[in-house]
Amino acid sequence: MASSNLPPRIIKETQRLLSEPAPGISASPSEENMRYFNVMILGPAQSPYEGGVFKLELFLPEEYPMAAPKVRFLTKIYHPNIDKLGRICLDILKDKWSPALQIRTVLLSIQALLSAPNPDDPLSENIAKHWKTNEAEAVETAREWTRLYATGA
């Protein structure tokens, strides 16, 4: 898709993402499709994901910004609100979406979700159960997975 077909809003958002990236987050549009973004989020400090680099994909549907972007983890992650396929349970990606939100706010929210898992609103039943019955052990597993899958080694 040529960038000339893109709504000015997407162009502005893209420019700002590239010129003033949010701390710990990088997002760059793909060469072939300016609506498709390669995203990287650094595991937040003091979380079991610290030290990890998590890859995500983000796609802006035709209706954007009236409809929410589609986001998915590509890196395997042990988190009660993220399932095996990398899908994310986050309200602003669903019914709480507002067209006044942006790519930047979405990615910041995902980063915050890594700092504060919410096992009461789980996407992955098993992991959520693990989290609630034995948090220390679940956190350890998350750390282990971060080391195994998210350190780029």
Partner 1 sequence: MDSEDDMHDANDLDSVEDDFYSGDTGMGSDDGDAHYDFGDNESDDSDDITSRQQQNYTILSEADIRQHQEEDISRVSTVLSIPRYAACILLRHYNWSISRVHDEWFADEERVRKIVGLLEKPVEMPNSRELTCGICFENYPCDCMNSASCGHPFCLACWRGYISTSISDGPGCLMLRCPDPSCSAAVGQDIVELLATDEDKEKYSRYLLRSYVEDNRKIKWCPAPGCEFAVEFVIGSGNYDICCSCSYNFCWNCTEEAHRPVDCVTVAKWILKNSAESENMNWILANSKPCPKCKRPIEKNQGCMHITCTPPCKFEFCWLCLGPWSDHGERTGGFYACNRYEAAKQEGAYDESERRREMAKNSLERYTHYYERWATNQSSRQKALADLHSMQNEKLEKLSDRQSQPESQLKFIIEAWLQIVECRRVLKWTYAYGYYLPEHEHAKRQFFEYLQGEAESGLERLHQCAEKELQIYLDAESPMKDFNDFRTKLAGLTSVTRNYFEHLVQALETGLEDVGSSNSQATCSKSSSLKILGNKSKSGKIKPAGTNSASGAPSRSMDDGNLWSCDHCTFANPKSNNTCQMCEHHR
| Residues annotated as catalytic (active site), given as ranges | 89
Least CB distance to partner 1 at residue 76 (A): 30
68 conformational bin, left if phi > 0, alpha if psi -120 to 50, beta if neither? beta
Query: Closer to partner 1 at the Cβ: 8 or 152?
Result: 8
Q: Smallest gap, in angstroms, from Cβ of residue 107 to partner 1?
A: 15
Q: Min. distance of Cβ 102 from partner 1 in angstroms?
A: 9
The residues of the shown chain that bind partner 1, judged by CB under 8 A, are 7-9, 12-13, 63, 65-67, 92, 96, 98-101, 105
Closer residue to partner 1 (CB): 97 or 145: 97
Q: Can you spell out the DSSP letters for 18-63?
A: HHSPPTTEEEEE-SS-TTEEEEEEEPPTTSTTTT-EEEEEEE--TT
Q: Which residue is associated with the tokens 């035709």?
A: 62
Smaller CB distance to partner 1: residue 99 or 147? Answer: 99
